[in-house]
Amino acid sequence: MIGRITCTATVFALFAAVAAAQQAPAKPAPPPKPAPAAEEAAQRAARPAQEQPYQPVNVRVEVTITDQRGNAPTVKKTITAVTGDGMNARIRTNAQFNDIGPIPLNLDAMPTILPNGRIRVVVGLAYEMPVPPDQPLTAGVSRLMKTAIQENLSVNLDDGRPLVVAQSADPISDRQVTVEVRATILK
């Protein structure tokens, strides 16, 4: 008898739960409101991409490296490349020494003419310089053979005006290396 009462009570409880669920449907939770930054990013992604039209003109990019060591004469090297607006220029040069291996001087440059007439230039530079051979060798002591500088820069330049974009110091000696970039629109 107790089993029948328990079973009947369980059935009534189930019917009551189903009836309550049918009378008051559960309201779905509102979707979470996106953060302002996420909403802005979604709107940008929905817009068609507006590509900057590159102009059918060339740009001359000049990179001048000035290398100064103590009282030694200043060494200047200029690399010039001409490429189209939005196009990449790539220059690779190497010198070979029998005791220290290859010495590269590499330049990558990509100029883009901006709507305001300025020129954005992305510059990649790899430059190594051997230490002058006049330093005496000492048995059992390491001798510095060469130092290297690698730079990747993005700069906005005025047409035809040079700008010093980097100055770096050698980690061992008093050597200073300065890099200057000039971009000129060729018409």
Alpha helices in the chain (DSSP H): 2-23, 36-46
Separation CA 173–CA 50 (nearest Å): 49
Place of tokens 């790539």: 90
Average pLDDT in the chain: 79
pLDDT at res. 158: 97
What ranges do the domains of the chain cover?
58-186
Q: What is the pLDDT of residues 28-59, one digit of tens each?
A: 655 555 555 556 555 555 555 455 688 999 99
**Dihedral angle over CA of 166, 172, 173, 175, nearest 10:** -20
